[in-house]
């Protein structure tokens, strides 16, 4: 058991070979994921260790593709969506720092080329897919051959939700208890739900004024409502497992929506108040509630941002595409580019 003050580098170093051998290049894809039972609050900040366990659904083809090549300049370079970033930019510093955890101070300057097909830092979980893809690419580039559970734990050190983006389908991230955090990793669930759909309602793709990390910290430190969050999250996780076992879409959707609204309630109760919603976010919520009153089974969830993610079944897709023009629909259990897959029983 490690002291909680040990750093990421100390922990990663225990798993690394003494001498790294770099491949000529590496490439990896990781899907973004949407939490149905949210991760909100940390028990340890350095390692991104969560207060509660969480559960997500991946977004199949939506996510991040990352390539790593040797740098011929002798310096690290970071590209985002085809653009070379200044080395002092926050994104480049964060990426280079993460790669540095795996280099053991050996001279391996690299080009990290990252491309998102979802907006970056807009509340659509780009950091989750980003750090998962980077972790997978590092594993390939340095030929480390780490098991998925270790990759998940390492991705979590970059961004908590990245632990879930190592896999596709329904994924649970257990909070873990160890001080070094290596039991805090995700794993895929044996559930296949072919007619499940996730619809992205993009209210805004602008970078958030308050990032998730800062918002989480403010909530934990200032919102008295937060005291009830860990217990509710644990209960919601159990309910989602039951809904998956029963194949009950209505229960899955209701619990996910309630969980999201409860998380946002703790944010609103922070000081200064933290409100990611915009007027169009509220208008979309009200439309969803009206559709449910009219008998259309559709629910929503929201991360720390203004955008909604609709949960519905294939039979309602055409109607919802009409009600929400521009809706981007994802079928999570269609073929995914990510390595891991979950295919077992279908909900009855």
- Helices 249-268 and 229-246, axial angle in degrees (round to 10): 160
Look-up of token digits 């995700």:
186
Confidence at residue 211, expressed as pLDDT on a 0 to 100 scale: 87
User: What's the CA gap between 163 and 171, in Å, rounded?
Assistant: 9
222 class by beta-carbon count within 10 Å (0-12 exposed, 13-18 middle, 19+ buried): middle
Secondary structure class of 320 (helix, strand, coil): helix
Task: Residue 272: name the closest of 214, 205, 229 by CA.
Answer: 214
Per the CB < 8 A criterion, the answer to whether 310 and 201 are in contact is yes
What band does 120 get if pLDDT is binned at 50, 70 and 90?
Answer: low
What band does 334 get if pLDDT is binned at 50, 70 and 90?
Answer: confident
Residues 6+ apart with CB under 8 A from 296: 312, 316, 319, 320
Task: Residue 173: name the closest of 148, 192, 193 by CA.
Answer: 148
Confidence at residue 312, expressed as pLDDT on a 0 to 100 scale: 98
The answer to which of 104-113, 286-295, 336-345 has the lowest mean pLDDT is 336-345
User: What's the CA gap between 122 and 185, in Å, rounded?
Assistant: 24
Confidence at residue 204, expressed as pLDDT on a 0 to 100 scale: 85
Mean pLDDT of 172-188: 97
Per the CB < 8 A criterion, the answer to whether 305 and 262 are in contact is no
pTM of the model: 0.91
Q: Quick one: tokens of 216?
A: 């989480």
User: What's the CA gap between 166 and 155, in Å, rounded?
Assistant: 8
Mean pLDDT of 179-193: 97
Mean pLDDT of 110-136: 82
Look-up of token digits 């294939």:
314
Strand-pair partners of 33 = 58
């Amino acid at each position: 058991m490690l002291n909680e003050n040990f750093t990421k580098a100390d922990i990663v170093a225990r798993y690394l070979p003494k001498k790294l051998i770099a491949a000529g290049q590496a490439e990896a894809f990781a899907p973004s994921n949407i939490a149905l039972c949210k991760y909100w609050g940390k028990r340890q900040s350095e390692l991104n260790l969560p207060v509660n366990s969480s559960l997500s659904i991946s977004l199949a083809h939506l996510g991040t593709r990352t390539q790593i090549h040797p740098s011929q300049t002798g310096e690290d370079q970071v590209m985002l969506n085809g653009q070379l970033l200044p080395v002092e930019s926050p994104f480049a510093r964060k990426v280079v720092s993460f790669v540095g955890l795996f280099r053991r101070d050996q001279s391996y300057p690299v080009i990290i080329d990252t491309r998102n097909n979802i907006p970056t830092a807009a509340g659509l979980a780009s950091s989750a897919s980003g750090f998962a893809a980077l972790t997978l690419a590092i594993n390939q580039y340095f030929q480390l051959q780490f098991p998925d559970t270790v990759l998940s734990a390492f991705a979590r050190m970059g961004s908590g939700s990245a632990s879930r983006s190592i896999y596709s389908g329904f994924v649970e991230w257990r909070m873990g208890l160890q001080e070094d955090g290596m039991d805090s990793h995700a794993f895929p669930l044996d559930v296949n739900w072919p007619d499940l759909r996730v619809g992205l309602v993009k209210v805004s793709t602008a970078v958030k004024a308050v990032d998730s990390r800062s918002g989480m910290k403010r909530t934990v430190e200032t919102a008295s409502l937060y005291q009830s969050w860990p217990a509710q999250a644990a209960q919601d996780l159990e309910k989602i497992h039951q809904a998956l076992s029963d194949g009950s879409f209505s229960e899955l959707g209701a619990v996910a929506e309630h969980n999201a609204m409860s998380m946002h309630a703790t944010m609103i109760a922070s000081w200064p108040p933290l409100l990611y919603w915009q007027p169009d976010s509220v208008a979309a919520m009200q439309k969803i509630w009206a559709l449910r009153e009219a008998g259309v089974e559709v629910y929503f969830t929201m991360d720390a941002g203004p955008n909604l993610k609709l949960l519905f079944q294939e039979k309602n897709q055409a109607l919802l595409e009409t009600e929400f023009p521009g809706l981007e629909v994802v079928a999570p259990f269609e073929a995914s580019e990510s390595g891991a897959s979950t295919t077992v029983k279908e909900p009855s």
